[in-house]
Structure 1
Amino acid sequence: MGAGGGVVGRRGIALAVVVAATLGCDENREIRRDPERRGRCDLGGFSSCRQSTDCGPGASCFEGCCLSACGATADCDAAPGCDGFGCVCDQGACIPVSCSAAEECEEGQACVGGVCVGPGAVEARFCRLSPPWATLRAGDEMRYAVAAFDAEGRRIVPTPAFRLESPDARRAIVDGDRVTGGPESGRVEIVAKVGAASCAAEVLSLGQKDPDRVRVVAIDALSRLPVEGARVQVEGDPSPALATTDARGEASLERGALPARRTVSVFHEDHTYVTLVDVEADDLLVPLLPNPDGPLAGGFSGAFRSELFEASRLNFGLAGASFPGNLLDLDVFVLVGPVERVEIDIGGARSADVSAGLVIGLGNTWFKERYRVEALPGACEDREASASGRCGFRTAWGLAGGIPLEDVPFDAIQSGGEVEAGRLLAQLLPHVRRLRSAVVPSLPIEFAPRVDGRPDWAALPTLDLEASTRLSLRVDLALPPLPSELVDGAVAVAGARVLGEGVVPLGLTGAVADEETRELVDAVRDRRGVLDLRFAPQHGGIEGSDYVVYAIAVNLEGLSGGLPCTPDERSGCTPISGLVAAAQSLPWGTVVDLSSPGFLGLADRALFDPATRRLDIGGEVEGATLMRVEILSRGRGWLVYFPSGLDGVTLPVPAETSDRLEEPSVSLQAMDADLDLDALLGPGGEDLSDFTLRARRFSAIDVPRPAPSR
């Protein structure tokens, strides 16, 4: 399931349980108390410390390092370690920082891995244009990205300037890095010129539609290729109107025979169903995601390389693959992998369900040393492989390192070994600022048949990530009080939105809310409503992407599971509420203010009855403009979109395809978007496959069935 699918809690508890089991023995408490067994400073060239008196005159202890003391940033101009991009004075110490984007560098320079560099002289010998395939109606817009490579096949960073060309402006119109569908139909090759190198991509232009017809276009949301054979169903009285998409992904119905406002469904057995309620648009682009339980699985496995893994530290890391599409669709199963059972034997055997993307250990003892990462398919130069979900490019990412044991929150582990898992997790996350980031862009994803429903890791490649880039940027993230008693904390992430590949996390933190005011309390700076969020600059080849910052309010207390999801008890219904912001640059100390208009409320009175196919909202979600129901039934999905003003929806009965209401799990998601459903379906630059930045607020909660009548 996506954001509201009841999976988040099981992943969140994994880290907390393993940490508690690891630290709950006497030996590790002794390591924490013994200063001779603690770790060193993580910044090269600086002495280690526990307090400023360890550092001598003119120095201050900051995160275990003796740095030059300061009262203002101007005091840091000649400080040791500040001869790169420079330092800022923060908490009385001169802290080395990085650039976040080229606009912070001198004219003509680029920000590469957090350092300002001059233009390179490397000649591009070949390149790759992304996306390789696109299906565009007249007026649809697609943004393109180029990866350039030298004669040895090394990626050139920063990416050299490129120029797009279209041989036929009647089918595809070029403007900078964007291509707009023209009025005439047909295929056209878009060519990118990077110096002497060139690369191409194909656009299928569908042109303008017949004004007397309603056109429905089905495309694969990940490859952007047309989906042939999808059944289009428009509800009517006494029976629905039906059509089937052709090889161009198009289905056409007579406009005069349909209601003015319609419920339109697109059904294809290999894809998640989509139903659109109360729409008026007569030219609909409907992206279809693959079913969650597809027969193929892609990804990689490996082990981190990090100089921060030490004997006196809690060593851990998290690896994943970039996530395309809407943040609302963020599936933790895909983000950090399926659950694995890990045995921990410290003073007694224990076990925990841990995400496959997580590694964790103490010193030289690893409880789980290798990560396993699932990745979604996309598109490649092979059209058949793209259409069947057997290829794609994603950015591999990781955060790894060691946290000194003295910084681990032991007070979250109660006497007797009981774990306050959510609070332990929230108190541990701020220390992720000590980790290092790893990024490998445009990784070709290989796919293999699943074995017993799981990825066949033996058939998938190995990738060992080197986590070496410091989290040298910081934003002050201003957040509003939590929206409901059903949530009691938040997790925040800063990352890059890599064009064509998805969101890449570069840093994260967390906080617990005050029980009375619901204000989030920052554990790093002991302040309310503003979190210290550390992250790495864009590096490894993703430079030039937009930054994205998102915060998700969650039920930390319920992370351990076991809470029911019933009409009378919604704490176990995986409630979340998210806020999103984007920026081209985020220099150190930037204030990202998401405090207004506040978190979106939860549809916490909704009920779904599979017998009647009816979802009752139970009351309007204030501020929401668009709603979505996400259904998962035996590994197959169904998404239903509708305007927020409706009091409920009744799901249509598929006329010629299988139903998807057998033992369903249901999530109801609300969005505050600045585009309505008709605008997202019509021609333009956004569609249902990725409108995250047009829906800056969202919420989700699992929906129980009505209580049985007595």
Structure 2
Amino acid sequence: MPGILDGRGDEACTVDQDCADPALFFCNTATSRCEASCRSDDDCSVKRRGELHAILGCESLALGCRCDASRCVPALCTGDDACVAGEVCRDGACGAPPSASTVASCHVVPERLVAPVGTTARFEVWASDARGEPIVLREGITWKAMTEQVTGEGTGPGATFTLATPGAEAEAVEARVGIVTCRASITVLPRHVAAAQVRVLVTDALTGHPVQGASVLVSDLSGHATATGATDAAGVVVLAALGEVGVSVFHPDFGYVTLAHYSTLGTRDLRLPLRRNPADREGGARGMFGNFAPMGAGDALTLGFMGLSVPGLLSDAAPGQVLGPERQVELALGGMTRPFQVPANVWLSGLDLPAQPSVTAPGIAGVCDASLAEVSEPEEAMRSGACGTRTAWALTAQVQTAELPAGMMDPGTDPLLLLARALPPSSRFSSALSRDVQFTLRPPGTDEPSPNKLTPVAYDFRQVPLAFPFAVRVPALPRFRDSYLERTLVLGTVTAPGRGMVPLGLGAAVNSNPSDPNTDLLPGLTAPGLVRVRMAPAHHGLEGQPYRLIALASSGALGGDLPPGTATSAVMAPLQAPRFDPGGTQPVTFPSGFLTIPEGARYNPDVAPWHGLLPREWRLDAQVPFATLVRATFTNAAGRRWTVWMDSRRAALGVRLPVPPAGFEDRTFQGDVAGSRASHSVEALTVITDEGGFIGSAALAESGGMASESLAKSTRAVSALHQGRPQVSWVEPADGASLPRGATVRVRVDGFRVGSTLADEGGVMLDLRDGGPGCDDVRLRSDVATKSGEVTFALPAACSGANVVLVASLVDLPGLPLRPAVSAARTVRVP
């Protein structure tokens, strides 16, 4: 009947004229029922609709309704300032503030801190009720120092303390929420004043625990070790260092870190946090979606896109820690059936899809407590990376087939890009959150791979609508090689201290017609370069946390493992709050632009000089304007990393990497029998202080700014090129195949730029061996590859033999084999 919140009338219809008032109702042909419609917010009010057609639900809401995609929907708040005095904004609605007396437990974030005297640190508190549900308070919280090691006090959800007196680990900061208290443990190091020495503090980046037994190496400009030592129980080691040095940290359970070109004229007091090896453990959460109802007559696609929050920058996590493995699904639409590769954390229903009870999302190690099943010793579990606590999020939608985007069934469609482009024009999308999800992590293969080993998360399918549509003006896109970046994803996020980044909405655009610095013009928007975004307010325990907008441009598919040669560039900015601006009349802008792609990075893993590079030298030949930092990351076959940091202005000078200490693998190599190179990527970052000053690598390491949350907060832009590693593989023929004389054969090249110009790296050489007449000692070279990296060769017409061996290898511009050599062989029969 007229008056229910969704505006659905009780009249059956086939056209709008069948409804009571076509100016206020439309005929939903999918359900054959009349529904309330609108063109402006006034159309949702009783003043415009009159008593007969009033939407009673809108009149009963404190904030009323808004006209969103021609539907009257509840207006939501984004913060307490949107509510009347005495009320607060929770889950998008204004209401009475919660009481501190309902708090049953709390946690201080960070739970643990090791830092030198004089460090200031901000602590925040998470509170929950007896059922474990989050409670966000603005009053009823007091802070105090528990020992002389720290000074400070405060009220409210967070407070800042100063480390004042050296001392061993102690519970030094306390938050009192009602009658409940919780504390943070702090170790205060004395000031480092020794001359000609560098002190290095090594911690777990995601828990704050000191890392004992890490091997720290000081090297000179030639990469030779000048001092080595191991960290103690406090994660500290002091080593001799003079002049300009490199400082490297090695531990088998963590990614290696090298700080290059460090001048000992600074404080000589470094804090180098380490991230755990991403593939050494696996686990996370299992999401189940409930409380959704069919939309009525006609087919509909129901989907849920789930994940766990990511601490730090997205690139700090391995792709498998964000999306998980892919699976294939087949959608049937309009008489067509098409396979899609979708991540394991995407739940789909409808369109003849088989029933899917749940989806899984990988988790990243962190903190946990004794309430987590299977964890009897939380301290030990945290120290070994066996548990974590993250925020589980989901974006959900139920869309009728008539509303699905055009081109959905086209081959090669990117599912994430498709979702992001479909989302902003529709009001049927929602956000769901569970703020504190604990989970266990296990070495791969130690338990049966069962979803029951994952922490269950039950999502309310329509928890909070993505009620804020607006437009974002994306900065001019950077060029990569012969064209501009092709795809842009815009994320509306909130940052949860100790948990990580949580998406609350998104939008996307392509750059294909034409390929220029602007994303393509979207229907309903006024200019190219504008991207529609739809976003939810912070809710279910994340209220009051800062909003952040991220625009990510890419040369290839968004999400998942990046193929070699993929370029990305991202820009980040604080967002005061999501806007309700469906027409995009006041686009949100970024204060800075995209960084250019850091092309021209080279590494010589050999013990001899090679093409202008000294042994074990890494160098970036091109500068990236406005970047303050550069980091190169090597990732071996086991997913273990070695990250090298330096100021951007020093990248062109190069850095010579030290040989890892005895017993440590050299992660610049793949770790295979062939001794091939590891995968290689390079990033350029713009990192600034709160006051807008640029931060270099030395200041970052001396201030503790390399910690995951600090780095993410201070980064304004980052660009990356995933170079991969040089590889050549056979496309055809298959091994043992029979070929006619003069046949064409094909290989694929990855992680190596085929061509004959100075901007290229070399070509592919094909050697024919062990054949009969016309085959032996034949060498063919090609410097031409397709966009997908395929290279073709025509075999000599005179070549024949029962066992002709074809060896394809990568060579440099002068024609010399790479070092280490990269080749692939096939044995064929040529009658």
For the superposition of Structure 1 and Structure 2, which TM-score range results when normalised by the shorter chain? 0.7 to 0.9
Deviation sequence 1:350-373 (CA, Å, 0-9, x none): 755421101123256337552111
Give 1:495's match in structure 2, choosing from 493, 496, 511: 493
Quick one: structure 1 residues 420 and 112, their matched pair in 2 at CA, closer, same or farther if it must change by over 3 Å?
closer
Contact kept, 8 Å, 1:101 with 1:584, in 2: the verdict is no
Contact kept, 8 Å, 2:363 with 2:388, in 1: the verdict is no
Contact kept, 8 Å, 1:626 with 1:677, in 2: the verdict is yes
Residues in 1 aligned to 2:561 and 2:91: alpha-carbon distance in whole angstroms = 44
Give 1:397's match in structure 2, choosing from 367, 386, 393: 393
Q: Report how far residue 198 of structure 1 moved.
A: 1.2
Q: Report how far residue 240 of structure 1 moved.
A: 2.5
Q: Report how far residue 135 of structure 1 moved.
A: 1.5
Quick one: structure 1 residues 274 and 592, their matched pair in 2 at CA, closer, same or farther if it must change by over 3 Å?
farther
Quick one: structure 1 residues 74 and 308, their matched pair in 2 at CA, closer, same or farther if it must change by over 3 Å?
closer
Residues in 1 aligned to 2:113 and 2:535: alpha-carbon distance in whole angstroms = 33
Residues in 2 aligned to 1:113 and 1:610: alpha-carbon distance in whole angstroms = 54
Give 1:441's match in structure 2, choosing from 420, 435, 447: 435
Asked whether 1:576 is paired with 2:571, we answer no
Q: Which amino acid in structure 2 is aligned with residue 597 of structure 1? A: S
**Pairwise CA RMSD of aligned residues?**
3.5
Q: Report how far residue 698 of structure 1 moved.
A: 0.8
Q: Secondary structure at the match of 1:576?
A: strand
Q: Which amino acid in structure 2 is aligned with residue 700 of structure 1? A: A
Q: Secondary structure at the match of 1:108?
A: coil
Give 1:142's match in structure 2, choosing from 121, 136, 151: 121
Within a 5 Å distance, the mapping from 1:285-300 to structure 2 comes to 285-294=271-280, 296-300=281-285
CA radius of gyration, larger in: 2
Between 1:219-228 and 1:691-700, the stretch displaced more is 691-700
Quick one: structure 1 residues 70 and 408, their matched pair in 2 at CA, closer, same or farther if it must change by over 3 Å?
closer
Residues in 2 aligned to 1:580 and 1:145: alpha-carbon distance in whole angstroms = 23
Contact kept, 8 Å, 1:139 with 1:684, in 2: the verdict is no
Between 1:258-267 and 1:215-224, the stretch displaced more is 258-267
Residues in 2 aligned to 1:376 and 1:54: alpha-carbon distance in whole angstroms = 55
Gaps of 5+ in 2: 49-54, 370-377, 607-614, 671-677, 689-694, 724-750, 753-760, 763-810, 816-831
Deviation sequence 1:241-278 (CA, Å, 0-9, x none): 11211000001123xxx232221111111000001111
Residues in 2 aligned to 1:42 and 1:559: alpha-carbon distance in whole angstroms = 40
Q: Secondary structure at the match of 2:594?
A: coil
Q: Report how far residue 667 of structure 1 moved.
A: 1.0
Corresponding residue of 1:599: 594
Q: Which amino acid in structure 1 is aligned with residue 534 of structure 2? A: R
Q: Secondary structure at the match of 1:682?
A: helix
Asked whether 1:683 is paired with 2:703, we answer yes
Deviation sequence 1:373-427 (CA, Å, 0-9, x none): 111111134322211112221111111221221222334645xx67587875664
| Greater relative contact order, per chain length (Cα 8 Å cut-off, separation 6+) | 1
Give 1:264's match in structure 2, choosing from 236, 247, 265: 247
Asked whether 1:615 is paired with 2:624, we answer no
Quick one: structure 1 residues 158 and 587, their matched pair in 2 at CA, closer, same or farther if it must change by over 3 Å?
farther
Asked whether 1:59 is paired with 2:24, we answer yes
Asked whether 1:373 is paired with 2:361, we answer yes
Q: Secondary structure at the match of 2:566?
A: coil
Contact kept, 8 Å, 2:117 with 2:191, in 1: the verdict is yes
Asked whether 1:105 is paired with 2:83, we answer yes
Within a 5 Å distance, the mapping from 1:93-492 to structure 2 comes to 96-121=74-99, 123=101, 124-151=103-130, 153-158=132-137, 160-171=139-150, 173-174=152-153, 177-189=159-171, 190-212=173-195, 213-236=197-220, 239-254=225-240, 258-280=241-263, 281=266, 282-294=268-280, 296-307=281-292, 310=295, 312-342=299-329, 352-363=340-351, 365-366=353-354, 368-381=356-369, 382-411=378-407, 413-414=409-410, 424=418, 427-430=421-424, 434-451=428-445, 456-468=450-462, 469-484=464-479, 485-492=483-490
Contact kept, 8 Å, 2:324 with 2:361, in 1: the verdict is yes
Q: Which amino acid in structure 1 is aligned with residue 92 of structure 2? A: G
Q: Secondary structure at the match of 2:289?
A: coil
Residues in 2 aligned to 1:632 and 1:99: alpha-carbon distance in whole angstroms = 44
Residues in 1 aligned to 2:455 and 2:342: alpha-carbon distance in whole angstroms = 21
Quick one: structure 1 residues 92 and 638, their matched pair in 2 at CA, closer, same or farther if it must change by over 3 Å?
same
Residues in 1 aligned to 2:416 and 2:502: alpha-carbon distance in whole angstroms = 24
Contact kept, 8 Å, 2:100 with 2:178, in 1: the verdict is no
Quick one: structure 1 residues 596 and 302, their matched pair in 2 at CA, closer, same or farther if it must change by over 3 Å?
closer
Q: Report how far residue 307 of structure 1 moved.
A: 1.8
Contact kept, 8 Å, 2:204 with 2:273, in 1: the verdict is yes
Gaps of 5+ in 1: 1-40, 566-572
Corresponding pairs, count: 656
Q: Secondary structure at the match of 1:336?
A: coil
Residues in 2 aligned to 1:62 and 1:117: alpha-carbon distance in whole angstroms = 35
Contact kept, 8 Å, 2:18 with 2:27, in 1: the verdict is no
Give 1:653's match in structure 2, choosing from 640, 656, 659: 659
Q: Secondary structure at the match of 2:261?
A: strand
Q: Which amino acid in structure 2 is aligned with residue 214 of structure 1? A: V
Q: Report how far residue 223 of structure 1 moved.
A: 0.6
Corresponding residue of 1:44: 6
Q: Report how far residue 442 of structure 1 moved.
A: 1.0
Q: Secondary structure at the match of 2:699?
A: helix
Corresponding residue of 1:508: 506
Residues in 2 aligned to 1:314 and 1:487: alpha-carbon distance in whole angstroms = 30
Q: Secondary structure at the match of 2:458?
A: coil
Q: Report how far residue 100 of structure 1 moved.
A: 0.6
Quick one: structure 1 residues 316 and 88, their matched pair in 2 at CA, closer, same or farther if it must change by over 3 Å?
closer
Residues in 1 aligned to 2:18 and 2:617: alpha-carbon distance in whole angstroms = 67
Contact kept, 8 Å, 1:70 with 1:94, in 2: the verdict is no
Give 1:588's match in structure 2, choosing from 555, 560, 580: 580
Contact kept, 8 Å, 2:271 with 2:704, in 1: the verdict is no
Residues in 2 aligned to 1:217 and 1:406: alpha-carbon distance in whole angstroms = 59
Contact kept, 8 Å, 1:138 with 1:683, in 2: the verdict is no
TM-score scaled to structure 2, two decimals?
Answer: 0.72
Deviation sequence 1:190-243 (CA, Å, 0-9, x none): 211112221222112223223423110000001111000111111127643112
Quick one: structure 1 residues 398 and 47, their matched pair in 2 at CA, closer, same or farther if it must change by over 3 Å?
farther
Name the % identity: 28
TM-score scaled to structure 1, two decimals?
Answer: 0.83
Q: Secondary structure at the match of 2:540?
A: coil
Residues in 1 aligned to 2:466 and 2:567: alpha-carbon distance in whole angstroms = 30
Residues in 1 aligned to 2:685 and 2:6: alpha-carbon distance in whole angstroms = 45
Residues in 2 aligned to 1:366 and 1:448: alpha-carbon distance in whole angstroms = 30
Residues in 1 aligned to 2:252 and 2:120: alpha-carbon distance in whole angstroms = 28
Deviation sequence 1:122-155 (CA, Å, 0-9, x none): 6134322233222122233333222333455543
Corresponding residue of 1:644: 648
Contact kept, 8 Å, 1:305 with 1:467, in 2: the verdict is yes
Q: Secondary structure at the match of 1:406?
A: helix
Residues in 1 aligned to 2:559 and 2:126: alpha-carbon distance in whole angstroms = 43
Quick one: structure 1 residues 498 and 420, their matched pair in 2 at CA, closer, same or farther if it must change by over 3 Å?
closer
Asked whether 1:696 is paired with 2:699, we answer no
Residues in 2 aligned to 1:498 and 1:234: alpha-carbon distance in whole angstroms = 36
Corresponding residue of 1:526: 525
Q: Which amino acid in structure 2 is aligned with residue 177 of structure 1? A: A
